Structures are given as C-alpha cells and as structure tokens.
C-alpha cells in the first residue's frame, strides 16, 4: 500500500511540475508580419527565457506547421512556444492571448 501511495504522489508531482515548466516556456508576443508562402512569422516579443533571450526583440520565426499561420493575423497579441534548431528558431505552437 505504501508503494502505491509513493507512486501516486510521484505521478502527481511530475504532472504538476511538467505543467509549470510548460507554462514557463510560453512567450508573450505580437504578430507583426505573416509570410504564408515561406511559412514564416515575424513576432515582437518579450524575454524568451526558454530560448536564452533575456531582452525583448522582434524576430522572424519559421513555423513547424504552416496551418498555425491561419490561426492569427497581424496585430494579434499571442502566446507561443518555439524551439531552436540547426536552421534557426521555429514556432511550435501559437494561440491568441486572452
């Protein structure tokens, strides 16, 4: 029985910490330009700690899935996640900020 309680507690802790890390990775920004043909988006954003960027900046990002570009328009405030790869930075998720 004690083993089951420890396993359950560990699972709850892992889910809780995983959620905290996922939220910390979200970056607040604003859509400045969308280039559907090149599958790129220009975002003005605050610090992006998950990418090692401590200062606000405006950058062009590739998008992992071009369908993401249909979810937003220029001027939208957004929350997004991105990852660094060999060819630069790629937006993996994006949604309008609430």
What is the model's pLDDT at position 21?
41
What is the model's pLDDT at position 5?
62
Residues 58 and 44 sit within 8 Å (Cβ to Cβ): yes
- DSSP 8-state assignment for residue 48: B
- What domains appear along the chain, each with residue ranges and CATH number? 27-96 (2.40.50.320)
Is the pLDDT at 69 greater than 50? The verdict is yes
* Confidence grade of residue 87 (pLDDT, cut at 50, 70, 90): confident
What is the model's pLDDT at position 39?
96
Element containing residue 96 per DSSP (H, E): strand 88-96
What is the model's pLDDT at position 4?
61
Specify the higher pLDDT residue, 50 or 20: 50
Is the pLDDT at 72 greater than 70? The verdict is yes
Specify the higher pLDDT residue, 91 or 86: 91
């Amino acid at each position: 029985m004690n083993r089951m309680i420890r396993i359950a507690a560990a699972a709850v802790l892992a889910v809780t910490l995983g959620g905290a890390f996922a939220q910390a990775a979200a970056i607040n920004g604003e859509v400045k330009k969308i280039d559907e043909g090149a599958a790129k988006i220009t975002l003005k954003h605050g610090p992006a700690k998950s990418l090692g960027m401590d200062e606000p900046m405006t950058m062009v990002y590739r998008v992992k899935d071009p369908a993401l570009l249909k979810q937003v328009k220029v001027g939208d405030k957004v929350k997004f996640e991105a990852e660094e790869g060999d060819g630069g930075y790629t937006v993996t998720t994006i949604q309008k900020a609430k």
